[in-house]
Chains A and B, each alone.
Chain A
Amino acid sequence: MDGVGEKGKNPSGFSRRRFLKGVGVAGVGAIVADYPLLAPAEPTSAPSGATSGPISGNVDIVLTVNGQNRKVTVEPRTTLLNALRNNLDPPITGPKLVCDMGTCGCCTVLLDDKPVYGCLTLAIDVVGRKITTVEGIGTPEHLSPVQAAFGEKDAMMCGFCTDGFVTSITGLLKANPHPTEQEVREACKGNFCRCGTYPRIFQAALAAASAK
């Protein structure tokens, strides 16, 4: 399962995720059976008279998010991103749903400290893994060096991509505490910013690295 939705690679989870998303929920029982950590939730019964159409297959799982074990009910096809944003209560909305196909990086989360696309990762695939979202990197009261540097350099405008960039760069600095600007560009090549703040994002990453 290493490399689930991992950025910059052809992720092993991609084909399965696309398959599951594509077929709806019919026939996922066999796949769910691969996951001993999953508990089938109450099956939703189809109303009488319905003879066709997808059947809901909910499962209860526990996700380890920002140091907390959070119970959540998902479908096998539910992405980690949607599980965080829609299924958790209260939700975690720092990671954004923007392209839903692994191109923009706004959904980036750290999986065991490595950046992955939340929209290309299935929630049921990451049970037992350490998930860190931007909320787990710092808070308004206790900003991480990366978050503080983003403010100082004005590395954001509308801010919708910011959570993804902060997370990608945090992942980069964990693996490579003193990157060159070229390495920052490479690490963020899977993140888009439409307002055009890239130059200042690069500056913020380098400033955060030298502040550590």
Chain B
Amino acid sequence: MPLTDPSPAPPLSWGPNDQHRLLNTRLPRVDFPYKTTGTAIYSYDVHLPGMLHGRILCSPHAHARITSLDLKPALRIPGVRAAVARVGVGGLLRFEGDPVAAVAADTAEIADDAVHAIDVNYEVLPHVVTAEDAIKPGASPVYPNDPRDTNNIRHANRSGSAPAVQDALNSSYVVIEAEYRTPILHHTCLETHAVVVDYRGGDLATVYCSTQGTFSIPGDAARMLKLDQSNVTGIVQYMGGGFGSKGGIGAEGQLACALSKQVNAPVKMALPRRDEFLMAGNGPGSWQKFRAGASKDGQLTAIHIEQYALGGLGNGSLAAQPYVYHADHVYREAGSIHTNEDSSRPLRAPGHPPACFAMESVMDELADKLAMDPVEFRIKNLGDDNDHIRQLLRGAQEIGWVRRSQTPGATPGTLKRGFGCACGLWGGGGRPQCVVTVGVGRDGSVTVSCGTQDLGTGTRTYMVAIVAEELGLAMSDVKESIGDSRLGNANFSGGSSTAGSLSPAVKTAAINAKTEIAGAVAPLLGAKPEDLVFSDRKISAAGKTLDWNQACAALPSAGISVRGEWQRGLSTGGAHGACFAEVEVDTETGHVQVLRMISVQDCGLPLNRLAVESQINGGMVQGIGMALLEGRVMDATLGVMVNSSFMDYKIPGCLEMPREMLPLIDDGDTRQLVVGVGEPPSIPPAAAIANAVFNACGVRFRQLPITPDKILMGLNPKA
């Protein structure tokens, strides 16, 4: 496909960011009346006549072989209609939670009974479930037949010259050597992975799935149902959070398809919370070892970094160090450490928050050794990265950085306050995948549609806003339709690429609709189509005006339906942010309360300021979880997760919220381009909090989460 634009028309543009009527303003989301009244139907809520409820039997062992498996005891329970095995006798299970078999029954309660009635025996095999155990000589290999693994370590790449780095470190004014660790985290979407397979025999099926890609459903389900992909409809009307964990229909969807196919009846497979923890999503942990040096005047000199992602059976991800900073000499070794745990999945800004935590801690430690202000030290090492410099200066001013004690732990008394900061960077961008249709009826009704999905980011709302602004209409004049694979194609929501891919296609469709309407209406106004002005629900030219409905009466009786696809010049990647935190550490209890957080984030043209601010808030809240609360805990001996519930895996709640949270859109970024902002604001908050804890109490915590036990042991190392 040629990349040059075949049409002679000038490239499209959004125009200046401060001259929009709807975009870049504060728009309540169009679906809020449904989300607040229980009338938004999520995949988890889909209820069909004759629908069965599925349950999965998960492996109780981290590593085992099935020695016998009998589904009949489950099938004998009244109300149980179907049962399928996923792994046969002799088959290997490689993590606690690995799906073994599944049942479908008339009620969820009976399905619960049935899954426990399955008669299965295991030969338990050696396992490793912690990185420390995994790399011990003689540890049980997770991939015994893969020569790329040595002691469960898989090296991905090496770059730079280690001797040159060592020379530079030898002549540096200050050097630190430190190791930083972050645990495996869980997405904990409140809507667990949920699939409803509506197959009743025959050639057609409809599959409702809580997934980040409407168009990932038909192919996945068709393979399991042995149908043509084009005969399977995927539906994602409302989606209760994904954060990277929901791609395709998953193992749970495959099992639902197999059960449905067995009895020609609809099956709902909605994971219980424990199964969600064990088999449906975790984000990789990290283990990063640094030697880093700086000159007396505050320039990074050299960095030696070994960084490993802890991705369970997967390789995980970890952003390359030294992250947003620059040093003349960098040696980097990167790889993964494998364990018998469910493969990690992308988790909001995959690999970035852990990399940011480590590098921003290094920056703080060096600044402390140099007795330099941490903001000043960062600015010295950002080169010509004016975006981050601008954001650091703004954040420092907003949070009152001048109040920060230059001596860590200097606050008198037992409640010690401190400040910290960190920077984040994300790529994103848009791709030519979305096909958007704008329909205008002869009665003046307008619909914008695309098969895309709204993860809670506000996709529906900006689709409506773009069309309404282009056609001179109000938000309420335009209806939207999404989440259905029968509509125009759309990309999977990953990498903050939805807005950058979809919004240009919506803009193009709206312009095409405008052109077609103008062609039909111009004769009524006695004007040339290109001279028509669309505003205030009116179309005017040459001193004449038609209101919207009068104008649309000139359309063909079937109305018009026009398409738009992605075009260059309307979206881009590159999102920068800086986060600041003020915390209070109780040195008697070890409790950390975040008092204030400020996050400055750029995103080019903010399509909807209200929704962008909510994303920024969300990033800060998830950062509180990562910094202070969250982490998978494994029993190394038994190979099982010990905190697979919300009782034990603590996510931030109302009482953890700071007194003040300030989400700031950085309007210093004047790019007239859409930049996806779902992931970027979740990158720097945890690092900012960790640095604030150091400033508050004078102890550096290099392992997240910073829980009260760590604080107390850090403050009283001899106790």
* Interfacial residues, chain A to chain B (CB-CB below 8 A): 24, 44-47, 49-50, 53-56, 75, 77-78, 82, 85-87, 90-101, 103-104, 106, 133-135, 137-140, 143, 146-147, 150-152, 154, 156-163, 166, 184-186, 188-189, 191-200, 202
Contact = CB atoms under 8 A, between A and B. Distances in A.
Contact of A53 (B77, B272, B610): B77
A46 B78 contact: yes
Contacts of A106: 190
Contact of A151 (B36, B190, B243): B36
A75 B106 CA distance: 12
Given A104-B190, A133-B38, A185-B657, A157 B113 contact: no
Interface in B232-263: 238-241, 243
B208 to A, nearest CB: 13
Contact of A196 (B34, B108, B619): B619
Contacts of B651: 192, 194
Contacts of B28: 151-152, 154
Interface residues of B, number: 68
A192 to B, nearest CB: 6
B457 interface: yes
Contacts of B190: 96, 98, 104, 106, 158, 160-161, 192-194
Contacts of A194: 187-190, 241, 243, 622, 651
B107 interface: yes
A95 B45 CA distance: 10
Given A196-B619, A197-B618, A143 B37 contact: yes
B150 interface: no
Given A154-B29, A159-B240, A191 B618 contact: no
B617 A200 contact: yes
Contacts of A75: 107, 109
A53 B113 contact: yes
Contacts of B238: 158-159
Given A143-B33, A159-B40, A185-B654, A54 B618 contact: no
Interface string B384-401: 000000000000000000
Contacts of A192: 190, 646, 651, 653
Contact of B647 (A24, A101, A147): A101
23 contacts: A24-B113, A50-B76, A53-B113, A56-B110, A94-B37, A96-B191, A98-B646, A103-B645, A138-B36, A156-B36, A156-B456, A157-B615, A158-B189, A158-B238, A158-B456, A159-B240, A160-B190, A163-B38, A193-B621, A194-B651, A195-B241, A199-B657, A202-B654
Interface string B331-347: 00000000000000000
B661 A166 contact: no
B77 A85 contact: no
Q: Of residues A55, A77, A87, A99, which shows the largest number of chain B Cβ atoms within 10 Å of its Cβ?
A: A99
B545 interface: no
A158 B240 contact: yes
A83 B615 CA distance: 35
Interface in B9-49: 28-29, 31-42, 44-45, 47
A90 B652 CA distance: 34
Contact of B38 (A95, A154, A185): A95
Contacts of A103: 645-647
B402 interface: no
Contacts of B53: 86
B620 interface: yes
A199 B617 contact: yes
A158 B110 CA distance: 30
A104 B579 CA distance: 28
A150 to B, nearest CB: 5
Given A147-B37, A200-B617, 8 more contacts: A82-B109, A93-B41, A94-B37, A96-B45, A100-B273, A189-B653, A194-B190, A196-B618
